[in-house]
Structures are given as structure tokens and as C-alpha cells.
């Protein structure tokens, strides 16, 4: 029997012998294994490239290769994406959000490996980004393609994309709870009895296999500083607010600098990104790569703080009382530009690790300045560096639970769970005052393409105005006579008629009710032209309008049918309230009904 025949027989056997929910758990288990393997491969590749390039660096000397390596990295990664992948693989988490929002359960197969290759080159050569967003896109691609391979229904495919993301986070961080919480908070999948088990299976499986392949040690070797004291809570709250403002700066600076790159051609993007990145890394070596070495240094005690200054001009000033704080302050402010330059110049990476990096520095600076000023209680710098990581991540991602659980699982610092929650919550509430969306969802929210936990809004987001368009309305010309209009009415099943000119531009509408008193008087047929009795519709829908705005138009006008035009005013058709209600019900049943 051929391979195709065996495959078809398996599908038939599956549909007859295994319940869909049971098979879904099996696929979730496979996703957990594959995402853990993908995370392991990505980490190995990054560390292999970094070790090959930096093993001969002298710590107490300036390394001029910092000027060259990152440029080579984004150059090679950019060429790989442009000429081999031939697809945009940046902003991985935003792409997944968009896929979920548009019910596009299809994530291209090349994403299973393309993000791994591009990001390992980018980060291995020193690109100032994180590997987490690329691995999340990889995991989601694994989930999507496995689901389609086993011919699962679309609503299961959407869930499997979430399972892939959960497995990827759990696998790369060895953090199963974070994987589950991330999908709920950031990707905004509803937590129900139907969704929780597959997500949990993928997360736990991925974390377990990561433990097997990479050992059971926490990712960061936290030194477990002083026991948390309740009198420090006011400072924890202040740290949370400070992290909220740092998150706001990080988010807005990132979006602003990315906007500059969008206006440039490919090679101009590379030149700008390469110049900014190499200069920043040369001046501030902690910006090289993910920055996890700096995080490990800051959360492990004072005796190794000077290591952060290795390879920089600032190393000669290491004995100065404020040199480390000034140096780290510059790193904090400029990290966002190094990250944006990496991605904008052609590299591939995410903001996950940069937000952890910036948060760690923010917490360290906050506690160090407090301790140096004096007059306050002594604040353990390693503890506050840890809490800062949770705070900035919670603010940037608008995900306080993800920030809390991730730091607890990354470091084993569960005894700080209460302050981690406080910092994450305060940071989140602070940034929400200024930004209602996370760095990932901001781009989609502006286009009205963002899925949310608000079920009514989520269903409207999943609906597409193109699928609601009705084109069986007979159009008339404003110069036609009443007699011509009567003939059109006789052959039509509708009671509303769009009026368009010779260039198909929309002029108005004719309602049967408005001409009922004259349409049966033949002596008037040649006296009146359509432009004499046509009227303006109560509102006009533009094709690019969001479903939420369209529904508001219907609510405000009390209309049952509204015309649709494109950006040039060309008539396209009508959208009716009845078609919206029918599609609304279909989307509700397909995507939000539990089994």
C-alpha cells in the first residue's frame, strides 16, 4: 500500500475510533515534544555561534569586534529572509494575534524552521533581541501544521496554534505555568474546560522534555537575597510604578523607531540598523545578544557587579561610586534602540528578552539609588532586580500574571511571589493609564483587527465585511426616467436601489416607499428623472471600516441596509443587518461553543 493510502486509512480509522477531544490531547502532546525540541535547537545554535565568536575576547579590554559581528549577523539574517524565505517573519507574536483575530489557522510551514535559523544567526552574532518571539511563532506553526496534517476542524486548529505558543514558552523557559498563562493573557484565548487541557498538556510536556534535554536547574541562578520584609511594600509599589513608566518609554520608543525604518528601502534599513546597532554595542557591551549574562550578574550579588563593565570604556572607572549606575542607566535608555535597530536592519528577534533585560536593570537602579541616598530601609538589589524583570515585562506585554509566573519559574524565587505580584500589578495599571494595548497588539488594535476577551467584540473582530457584502441590488443611473425605474423595479426582488453614475461612483439610493405615490401614474414616467427623487442613505460604509464601527452605524441610524463604497467612492454593494446577525451566529457557534 502506498504512503498516501496508509495516511488516508489512518484518517478514516481516526474519525471512526477516536473522539475529537481525545485526539486533540494526543496532538497537544506531540506539539509539546516538538516545541521543546525546537526551543532546544534554537538555544544550542545561539550559544554555539556566540561561543565561537566571543571565546577569545579579553574582558578588561575594548573589543572592536563588537562593531563588526552584529552587522554581519543582521546582514546574513536579512539575506536569508529576503532571498530564501521570501516572507515577512518579523513580529512573530503580532502575527499569531492576527492569525487568531482573522480565523486564519494556517501558518505557513516554513515558519517551523525559518524563524529558528534567522533568529539564531541574528542573536548569535550579537543582535540585541530575544529568541522567545521567534520560538513562539515556530511553536504556533508546529501546532497549525500538525492540526492540518491530521485534518482537524478549524476551531481545533485555532486552539492548536495556542498550544504551540504555550509549548514554546514552556520549553524555552522551562516554565509550564507561564506557557499556559501567556496564551490566555497575551494571545487572548479564552480559558474554558475545552481549552485548558490541551494548553496544559502542551505546556507540561514541553517543560518536561526541556528538563530532560537541558537539565532541571532554573534558567537564572538566583542567589535568593534577603527574606522579603513587609515594611518594604511601599518601595515595591514605587518600583511597580517606576517599571510602568519604563515600560511606557520602551513601548513608545520602539514603535517610534520602528516607524522610521518602515519609511526606508531595504538597504537603507540595513545601513541605519547596522550603524546604530554596532555603535551602541561597542560603547555598551551588555547590549550584545539577549543580555542574559547581565541579568545573571545583577541577581547574584555585589561581588560580580564589576563584570558588567567588562569590554567597555567604562571599565577603567569601575571604582567610581556611581559609575555602574550611570553605565546601566545608559544601557536601560538605549536598549530599545538597539532592539529596534536589530529588527529594522534585517535581523529577526523579539522584545521578550529585551523587556526582561531592561526590567532587571530598572529594578537594580531603583534599589541602588535608594540605598546610596540613604535614610531608607536597606533594599536588597538582587531581589529588586528580579522584581523589576516582572514589572517591565508585565507593562510591555500588558500581562501581569505572565510577568509574575515567568520570573518565579525562571529563577525559583517563589518566596518573592507576593512582591512580584505587587510590582507586576502596579506596572500594568500604570501603563494602562497611557496605553490601552500591549506592544504586540497595538498595531492590530489600530486597524480594528484585534481579538479580545470581550466576547461580543471578539466575534465582531472575527467577522469580515467582505463576507457580508451583498451585490444583488440592481443599480440605476441618476439620468434614468421614472418609467425606466418602474421597469427595474418589476424585475427586482429588492426594495432599495443604489444610484451610481457612469464611473460607478455612488450617488444615493431610491426606496420604493418614496415613489409609491407616483410609480403607478404613467403620465409622470417621462416627467421625472431619478435624480429628482433619489435620497441620501442614513450612512455609508467604507470597505476598510471595522465591524465594530459598522455595527455602531446600524445602531445609530436604525437602518436595515447600508451601502458600501471603496476608498474612491465606487459602489460595491450593501451590508444588511440580517446578514450580520446570521454570520454572527455562525461565528459564535464555530469559535465559542464548548464541547
Sketch out the chain's domains with CATH numbers.
16-214 (1.10.3080.10), 230-452 (1.10.3080.10), 458-592 (3.10.580.10)
In the predicted model, what is the mean pLDDT of the chain? 83
Q: Average pLDDT of 267-280?
A: 92
Q: Please give the share of the chain, as a percent, with pLDDT higher than 90.
A: 31
pLDDT band at 511 (very low <50, low <70, confident <90, very high): confident
CA distance 516 to 541: 27
Which of 33-47, 101-115, 348-362, 469-483 has the lowest average pLDDT?
A: 101-115
**pLDDT exceeds cutoff 60 at 209:** yes
Q: What's the number of CA atoms in the CB half-sphere (13 Å) around residue 366?
A: 31
CA distance 236 to 78: 42
Higher pLDDT, 282 or 250: 250
- Return the top range by mean pLDDT from 188-192, 251-255, 290-294: 251-255
Which of 290-299, 302-311, 409-418, 500-509 has the lowest average pLDDT?
A: 302-311
pLDDT tens readout for residues 52-64: 887 776 555 556 7
Check residue 593 and give its pLDDT.
47
Contact, 31 vs 146, CB < 8 A? yes
Higher pLDDT, 13 or 290: 290
The secondary element (H helix, E strand) that includes residue 542 is strand 541-542
| Phi–psi pair at 379, nearest 5 degrees | -105, 125
Residue where the block lists cell 545573571: 296
Positive or negative torsion for Cα 518, 522, 523, 524: positive
Contact, 277 vs 127, CB < 8 A? yes
Residue where the block lists cell 561597542: 282
**pLDDT exceeds cutoff 70 at 314:** no
Check residue 105 and give its pLDDT.
67
Stated pTM of the model: 0.76
Q: Please give the share of the chain, as a percent, with pLDDT higher than 70.
A: 85
Cα of 141 vs its chain's centroid, Å: 14
pLDDT band at 337 (very low <50, low <70, confident <90, very high): very high
**pLDDT exceeds cutoff 80 at 346:** yes
- Return the top range by mean pLDDT from 129-143, 239-253, 463-477: 239-253
End-to-end Cα distance, the chain: 36
**DSSP-assigned states of every residue in 213-269:** HH-SS-SS-----SPP-GGGHHHHHHHHHHHHHHHHHHHHHHHHHHHHHHTS-HHHH
Check residue 336 and give its pLDDT.
94
Q: Quick one: DSSP state of residue 453?
A: S
Check residue 453 and give its pLDDT.
46
Check residue 87 and give its pLDDT.
81
**Coil, strand or helix: which one is 385?**
helix
Check residue 443 and give its pLDDT.
61
Residue among 442, 463, 498 at smallest CA distance from 590 = 463
Check residue 315 and give its pLDDT.
61
Q: Average pLDDT of 446-454?
A: 50
Check residue 223 and give its pLDDT.
58
**DSSP-assigned states of every residue in 96-129:** HHHHHHTT-----GGGGTHHHHHHHHHHHTT-SS
Amino acid at each position: 500500500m502506498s504512503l498516501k493510502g496508509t495516511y488516508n486509512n489512518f484518517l478514516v480509522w481516526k474519525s471512526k475510533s477516536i473522539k475529537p477531544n481525545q485526539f486533540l490531547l494526543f496532538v497537544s502532546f506531540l506539539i509539546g515534544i516538538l516545541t521543546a525540541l525546537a526551543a532546544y535547537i534554537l538555544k544550542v545554535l545561539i550559544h554555539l555561534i556566540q561561543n565561537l565568536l566571543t571565546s577569545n575576547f579579553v574582558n578588561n579590554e575594548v573589543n572592536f569586534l563588537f562593531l563588526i559581528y552584529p552587522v554581519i549577523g543582521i546582514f546574513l539574517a536579512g539575506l536569508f529572509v529576503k532571498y530564501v524565505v521570501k516572507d515577512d517573519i518579523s513580529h512573530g507574536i503580532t502575527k499569531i494575534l492576527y492569525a487568531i483575530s482573522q480565523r486564519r489557522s494556517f501558518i505557513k510551514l516554513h515558519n517551523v524552521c525559518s524563524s529558528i535559523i534567522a533568529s539564531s544567526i541574528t542573536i548569535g552574532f550579537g543582535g540585541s533581541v530575544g529568541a522567545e518571539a521567534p520560538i513562539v511563532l515556530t511553536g504556533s506553526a508546529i501546532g497549525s501544521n500538525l492540526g492540518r496534517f491530521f485534518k482537524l476542524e478549524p476551531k481545533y486548529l485555532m486552539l492548536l496554534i495556542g498550544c504551540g505558543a504555550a509549548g514554546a514558552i514552556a520549553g524555552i523557559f522551562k516554565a509550564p505555568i507561564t506557557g499556559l498563562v501567556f496564551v490566555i493573557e497575551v494571545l487572548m484565548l479564552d480559558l474554558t474546560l475545552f481549552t485548558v487541557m490541551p494548553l496544559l498538556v502542551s505546556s507540561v510536556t514541553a517543560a518536561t522534555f526541556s528538563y530532560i534535554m537541558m537539565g532541571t536547574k532554573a534558567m537564572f541562578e538566583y542567589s535568593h537575597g534577603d527574606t522579603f520584609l513587609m515594611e518594604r511594600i511601599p518601595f515595591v509599589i514605587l518600583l511597580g510604578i517606576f517599571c510602568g513608566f519604563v515600560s511606557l518609554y520602551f513601548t513608545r520608543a520602539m514603535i517610534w523607531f520602528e516607524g522610521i525604518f518602515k519609511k526606508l528601502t531595504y538597504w537603507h534599513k540595513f545601513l541605519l540598523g547596522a550603524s546604530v546597532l554596532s555603535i551602541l554595542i561597542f560603547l555598551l557591551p551588555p547590549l550584545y545578544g539577549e543580555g542574559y549574562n547581565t541579568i545573571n550578574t545583577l541577581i547574584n550579588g555585589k561581588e560580580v557587579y564589576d563584570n558588567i563593565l567588562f569590554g567597555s570604556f567604562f571599565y577603567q572607572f569601575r571604582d567610581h561610586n556611581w559609575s555602574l549606575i550611570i553605565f546601566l542607566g545608559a544601557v536601560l535608555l538605549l536598549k530599545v534602540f538597539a532592539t529596534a535597530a536589530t529588527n529594522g536592519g534585517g535581523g529577526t528577534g523579539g522584545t521578550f528578552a529585551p523587556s526582561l533585560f531592561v526590567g532587571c536593570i530598572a529594578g537594580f537602579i531603583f534599589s541602588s539609588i535608594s540605598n546610596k541616598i540613604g535614610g531608607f530601609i536597606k533594599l536588597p538589589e538582587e531581589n529588586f532586580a528580579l522584581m523589576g524583570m516582572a514589572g517591565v515585562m508585565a507593562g510591555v506585554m500588558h500581562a501581569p500574571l505572565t510577568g509574575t509566573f515567568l520570573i518565579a519559574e525562571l529563577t525559583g524565587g517563589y518566596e518573592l511571589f507576593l512582591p512580584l505580584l505587587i510590582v507586576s500589578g502596579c506596572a500594568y495599571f500604570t501603563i494602562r493609564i497611557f496605553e490601552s494595548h500591549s506592544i504586540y497588539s497595538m498595531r492590530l488594535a489600530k486597524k480594528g483587527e484585534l481579538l479580545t476577551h470581550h466576547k461580543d467584540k471578539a466575534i465582531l473582530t472575527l467577522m469580515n465585511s467582505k463576507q457580508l457584502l451583498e451585490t444583488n441590488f440592481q443599480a440605476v443611473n441618476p439620468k434614468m426616467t421614472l418609467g425606466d425605474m418602474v421597469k427595474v423595479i418589476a424585475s427586482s426582488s429588492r426594495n432599495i436601489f443604489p444610484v451610481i453614475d457612469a464611473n460607478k461612483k455612488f450617488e444615493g439610493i431610491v426606496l420604493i416607499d418614496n415613489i409609491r405615490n407616483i410609480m403607478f401614474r404613467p403620465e409622470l414616467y417621462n416627467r421625472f428623472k431619478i435624480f429628482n427623487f433619489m435620497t441620501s442613505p442614513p450612512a455609508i460604509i467604507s470597505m476598510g471600516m471595522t465591524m465594530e464601527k459598522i455595527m455602531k452605524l446600524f445602531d445609530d441610524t436604525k437602518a436595515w441596509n447600508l451601502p458600501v463604497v471603496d476608498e474612491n467612492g465606487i459602489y460595491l454593494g450593501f451590508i444588511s443587518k440580517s446578514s450580520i446577525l446570521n454570520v454572527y451566529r455562525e461565528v459564535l457557534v464555530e469559535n465559542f461553543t464548548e464541547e
